[in-house]
Amino acid sequence: MSKFTILLGGRGSEVSVHSITEEQKEKLEHLNLDECAMEDVIHILNFDDESSLIETNEVYIGVYPEHSRITVFDENNNEVIFNEDVEKLIMEEMISDYTQSNEIYQPLKLYVNDYIKGTPFMLDVDGDEPFDIKKLEFNYTDIEGMEMISSFKYNGVESEFGDYWSKGLTYFLSNE
């Protein structure tokens, strides 16, 4: 019996989405969102504190394909049996052709982008077959043109959340 763990890690984003009014959008457009103070954004959105920026019902988490890596750890032999950059796997068409994509383009939204690093996705696999890269499927989310891998499946089983940490906040507005 084979037992292995698939890890998808690297750099990515945890994006919290907030609905805004036309008036709030105009005020945010006048700020330089690349250099503004968090307090300015909190004030415009009428939030009580900074935790409100990341606490929302609409959150998307993912890693950037060009800054991520798949690692497979054989639990039986206590060793890494596969380790490759995701971008290379995609370019060499080594993974499954089946992917799912979710496009997010919505009017009057503020996106709070918390850059992350770590291993956001993982999956423990028990079975009779060795690891086969062709059974790996990526699910993508495209948020206003920012594409990230938001989960993966192996042999039809969906990944779970792993561990990651924050690298800093940025903001961007919807294009519509």
Helix (H, G, I), strand (E, B) or coil at 90: helix
DSSP, collapsed to helix, strand or coil, labels residue 140 as: strand
Dihedral sign, CA of 12, 139, 147, 56? Answer: negative
Query: Taking residues 112-127, what's their average pLDDT?
Result: 95
**101/109: higher pLDDT:** 109
Global pTM reads 0.88
Helices assigned H by DSSP within the chain: 22-30, 38-44, 51-54, 86-91
Region 92-99: mean pLDDT is 74
Give φ, ψ of 125 to 5 degrees: -120, 125
Residue 94 has pLDDT above 90, yes or no: no
Contacts of 101 (CB under 8 A, 6+ apart): 139, 140, 141, 142
Give 18's pLDDT tier (boundaries 50, 70, 90): very high
User: Two tokens at 158?
Assistant: 């969906």
Q: What is the pLDDT of residue 52?
A: 86
